[in-house]
Structures are given as structure tokens and as C-alpha cells.
Amino acid sequence: MSALVVCEDIWKIYRLGDVEVQALRGIDVMIQEGEFVAIMGASGSGKSTLMNILGCLDQPTRGRYLLRGVDVAQLGANQLAEIRNRQIGFVFQNFNLIPRTSALENVQLPLFYRGMPLRQQRALAAEALARVGLQGRESHYPSQLSGGQQQRVAIARALVASPSLLLADEPTGNLDSTSSQEIMDILTRLNKEQGMTIILVTHEIDIAAYAKRELVLKDGRLVTDRYLAPGVPSLSVETT
């Protein structure tokens, strides 16, 4: 069985006027289905750039990115949108829910762009909200929900499309420790019980500790790639 994610010598080079910025300098990595990977690194290390490429929001300047064996670099904008819609779920630091739109409708969004019948959209969205423990909050607006709850809505939105890959970009960055714990528990459970492949970007060691594998980026290069010993989450207990 082939790997879910294969990165082969990925480079990303920006041009800012005359200055050439090499955000990624040859990333080689392979992620199997069912893995829980944390990407760490200081700001400017290229982890956001890598995240955008893995999420098909951006394409590498050089190198190949295979998602389920498909070379993403060869795809057009519409096909990328299709991949984001069906294969990838995003969770962001600042939740990125659509304001003045109910939790249910926020979760429906990926299904809406598939042109799914409204009734089916609602049923699936309600189910996804229930999975993150938000049944009964369907009609709440984001402004009526706490940060933790908003992030759970965002996770439900990422899950509703049954993606093969969940990308979480600093998902606990704006949350207090209790909410962070809740979110990480949900992600861990998803990975453990449903075999969801999760890639988590963070700069917090205790959050990264929930993952089974750790990638560390520095100046656009992968400097560490190691599997974490089980039971390490106890680290978070020490810090709280």
C-alpha cells in the first residue's frame, strides 16, 4: 500500500522584489495513512508554507507532492479545489468560521460546494457536530460560542467531508489550557478510533507531544523526523 502523503524534494521560492526567499529547501517526507504527525519549528522556519502546500492551497516551486499517488503539482485550480473539498480538512488557529452564520451552516459549507441536497447537508452536518460534542448548538452563531466550542465547530466542518487528511494549523494557539486539552482529546480520539491521518502544526512542545511522530523544520529544511514514545502526553500534565 502506498503512502498517503509523499513529498519529494519540495522547494518553495518567493520573490519579493529583487530578494529571493527560499521558504522550503528540499523537503522529503512520507506520511502513511493513520499517522498523527506534529510539525514544529520557529516562526519563519517554513512550517506554514509546508502546510499550505500539503493542503493544496499552494503549489511547490520545485519537487513533487503526491497525495494518494496523485501528483498535485500537475493539477489545475478547479481540481485543487475538488481535492480540498473531498480529501482535506482544515482547522486553523483562529477558527475561521463564517460570522453571522449558524454552526450548522458553517459545518455544511464543504457539502454546499459539492451541490449536495440541502436535507442531506443538514443531516451530515448535524452528525459531525454531534461527533465533537456540540449537539444542541446547531443554530448558535460563532459569536455565541466559546473559543473551544468554535474550534470544535471548525473540526466538525473539517470532518463532515470525510477527508483522508486533517490539517491543523496551531489549533490550540488561541485557546486556554482546558479548551486546548479538549481539542487535543478530540483529535487524538479521531486518530485512534477512526484512523484519521492528522498533521498538526504547532510550536508548543506539550501540544506536539500528543502526536506519534514529530517533524522539526529549520530554515526551510527538515532537521528532525522521529517517532515519539507512547505515553508522552504526561508532559502536558507537568506544564499545567
Binding site for other proteins (CB under 8 A): 52, 55, 57-58, 77-78, 81-86, 90, 92, 96-100, 109-110, 112-118, 157, 161
Minimum CB separation of residue 185 from other proteins in Å reads 24
Find the shortest distance in angstroms from Cβ 19 to other proteins: 19
Rounded to whole angstroms, the Cα distance separating 53 from 55 reads 5
Using DSSP's 3-state secondary structure scheme, residue 14 falls into: strand
Taking alpha carbons only, the member of 214, 211, 207, 209 closest to residue 174 is 207
DSSP 98: P
If 0-12 CB within 10 Å is exposed, 13-18 middle and 19+ buried, where does residue 115 land?
Answer: exposed
Q: Please, what is the Cα angle at 225 between 191 and 204, to 5 degrees?
A: 65
Q: Which is nearer to other proteins, 87 or 202 (CB)?
A: 87
Q: For other proteins, give the closer residue by CB, 156 or 209.
A: 156
In terms of CB distance, is 39 or 209 closer to other proteins?
Answer: 39
Cβ proximity to other proteins: between 24 and 83 the closer is 83
Q: How far is the CB of 206 from other proteins (least distance, A)?
A: 26
Give strand pairing partners of 215. 39, 225
**Nearest approach, Cβ of residue 217 and other proteins (Å):** 18
Q: Which is nearer to other proteins, 145 or 209 (CB)?
A: 145
Amino acid at 158: A
Least distance between other proteins and beta carbon 232 (Å): 31
Query: Identity (one letter) of the amino acid at 27?
Result: I
